[in-house]
Structure 1
């Protein structure tokens, strides 16, 4: 029989008197126990995995990254919806998800003036919320194509209400009430109201916008896109409710639009609009606006 004579820290010595004793059960058990010692120890004491904490620091401070409508070129044409650098207010995960939807939605749905509106909405926190209201509404339309109803689109209405609440509070501040940020947010509300057919809300918001522009003494100091949107939404809304436009024409309108575009209106429509313009001078710019809208839609 084999017997273990001595044991050191790293070795076990086994003495045998005959070669076949190496196969004895006690000898094999001693060998296996010693060989498996380190393996069993490693299994019982698993190493904790190493972890590292990573963080991303924007190269541009958010306060310097906010873009004014006077310099819209600094906003990328296709924004990264997860790049919070370009948001004037902090968004939660759902807000970022809606922004991502709006930017990816352009691949298969045409929405006029989308990039222009984003360049304006990302300059003001209240305007950002009406942009989120639009995104929530469009997403709801996609998910509930057959059952969608604006009145039950709770997320859209929540963002819309948040924008209205902020604008109402800012109108109580003398400095903020005439600022470009508030005007931009109101324009967003007006555009939303026209889209969903809420003419009463459109009229209320437009009355407020008209008063702000009048107290400012016109469009002086506002970005080009802000003035053009105010003028354009006035025309669109007036056509919808069959009332004369109320907003003054932006100074240098021809310069904003660039060279005179080709006439895209059909002769019969052109003749009808010309007759209306002759009888009602306030409609003289309607043919120009419709012509630009048609050309924009064809791009």
Structure 2
């Protein structure tokens, strides 16, 4: 057989033997080995042919620098120090994490995956979580309870952690904190939070035993603690317990000295409420991040998969402010509505850069409750209400909630003298908008809103007055 048609050698060019110690070189060798594994699966080869890798020491040309893909580009790294022996099932689950078209969450994978590799209990949960995402691919929707496989794997995690807890010296180790954090992530994927608070409180106690969050010096673990807390806090609309990791702090505010976009809504808010600035300050930063294209380029989306981008600290800031604790005057109520609206606006952006799943059912429920409870006059800031309700209508999965949001949108169109749907979208865009994320949004909502607009006015106005006040 013509062996030139059947390549069996892979060459790694090095200028010095010490380069074998370089992590990126090792990753490249691993990927080459994996390509051979892939070929072996497709076409049988001899044992020798499967394992032939040739190292050639050669000075690379300056004009053709070597490119090395990052960890996670392949399916399963055969050289990785996995905490358990992988069988075929676990290998398939690990492969699903890194597959390009996988439903698995990509957000901050560069932080939580190393934490998962650091401990047997955490790694079992990585596999259990991967199974939940695998079920999403099979069923087309996120499941809200474990199947027999994910439950069996998680039982292994529980047994491993229980055994380790017998030794008091393990109670506040990095490995134990990472393992408990992985349980928090499991609750979030299911969207069922019974038991989540127990694990959250356990992490808080263990961090306290360490002397505080600043004593967690492993950056991947530090980010994972904040991450596992944030994703659950967001789903339940409660403040996150952990302060921003250092890796997030630089992304928590817009870059100093960079130009600020002009936003008429922001100006009108500050003129009307010069002392109520918590939410509008965050709004201005989000506006600037969007203007600077932060998080929407390939580079920024890659960073979102490793250490995080501006979305995470922005979510923490929005969850921290609680306008209604300062009173129920118009300004505080409007700030609460806009706080919820901004979280709902950011939810699809979070998905866009790799976060999944993003649960917003508590946010839409809280928004409806606020609108029903407090009757206020929005006046010239009514576009903010329309913007908030638009994204609430997109996010809710409850048909009754969606009908209520659609009804409010329909009446607001009348109050703002909006003639058609395209004009409504222009009003929404005048507040905040990201074209790549929202370009095709709103089709189903539009149909429902337009059907409501065909109702007689006498059937619409009394209901709106109960929801958003007489000025609508």
Q: Which TM class, normalised by the smaller chain length?
A: 0.5 to 0.7
1:128 correspondence with 2:123 = yes
Alignment-derived partner of residue 88 in structure 2: 93
Equivalence for 2:150: 156
Q: 1:168 and 1:143 mapped to 2: Cα distance? A: 32
- Is residue 200 of structure 2 the alignment partner of residue 206 of structure 1? yes
SS in 2 for 1:199: coil
Q: Does the 8 Å contact 2:238/2:319 carry over to 1?
A: no
Does 2:321 align with 1:276? Answer: yes
Equivalent residues of 2:116, 2:123 under 8 A apart: yes
Q: Does 1:176 align with 2:170?
A: yes
- Asked if 1:229 corresponds to 2:224, the answer is yes
Rounded to whole Å, the distance in 2 between the matches of 1:133 and 1:108 is 15
Residues 260 and 163 (structure 1), Cα distance of their counterparts in 2 relative to 1, 3 Å cut: farther
Compute the displacement of 1:155 (Å): 0.5
Pairing partner for 1:142 from 131, 137, 140: 137
- The answer on whether the counterparts of 1:218 and 1:248 sit within 8 Å (CA) in structure 2 is no
TM-score by length of 2: 0.40
- CA separation of 1:171 and 1:152: change in aligned 2, threshold 3 A: closer
Counterparts in 2 of 1:157 and 1:254: CA distance versus 1, 3 Å: closer
CA change 1:236–1:150 in 2 (3 A) is closer
Offset from partner CA, 1:6-29 (integer Å, 9 cap, x none): xxxxxxxxxxxxxxxxxxxxxxxx
The answer on whether the counterparts of 1:227 and 1:250 sit within 8 Å (CA) in structure 2 is: no
Contact 1:75/1:119, CA 8 A, preserved across alignment: no
8 A Cα contact 2:93 2:130, kept in partner: yes
Query: RMSD between aligned alpha carbons?
Result: 4.3
Aligned length, in residue pairs: 226
Unaligned runs of 5+ in 2: 1-44, 54-68, 270-277, 284-317, 327-338, 354-472
CA distance in 2: counterparts of 1:298 and 1:152, whole angstroms: 26
How far, CA to CA, are the matches of 1:90 and 1:209 in structure 2? Answer: 28
1:82/1:96 contact within 8 Å kept: no
Change (3 A) 1:233 1:99: closer
Distance 1:145 1:244, change over 3 A: closer
What is the distance in 2 between the residues matched to 1:158 and 1:85? 24
CA distance in 2, matches of 1:119, 1:229: 10
What's 1:189 paired with?
A: 183
- What pairs up with 1:1-299 in 2 under 5 angstroms? 76-104=71-99, 106-107=100-101, 109=103, 111=105, 112-145=107-140, 149-151=143-145, 153-219=147-213, 220-245=215-240, 247-250=241-244, 252=246, 255=249, 257=251, 260=254, 270-271=279-280, 273=318, 276=321, 297-299=351-353
Computing the radius of gyration from Cα coordinates, the structure with the larger value is: 1
Q: 1:262-282: CA deviations, max 9, x gaps?
A: 999x9699439599356769x
CA gap of 1:221–1:275, structure 2 versus 1, over 3 A, is: closer
TM-score, normalised on structure 1? 0.59
Unmatched runs of 5 consecutive residues or more in structure 1: 1-50, 59-73
State the shift of 1:259 in Å.
7.2
Q: How far apart in 1 are the matches of 2:160 and 2:193?
A: 21
After superposition, the Cα gap between the structure-2 partners of 1:182 and 1:239, relative to the gap in structure 1 and judged at 3 Å, is same
Secondary structure of the equivalent of 1:86? coil
In structure 2, the CA distance between the partners of 1:253 and 1:86, relative to structure 1 (3 Å rule), is closer
1:129-166 Cα distance to aligned partner (Å, 9 max, x none): 111111222222323448x8543611011111211221
Secondary structure of the corresponding residue to residue 132 of structure 2: helix
C-alpha separation between the residues in 1 aligned to 2:118 and 2:320?
41
Query: How far apart are the structure 2 equivalents of 1:233 and 1:152?
Result: 19
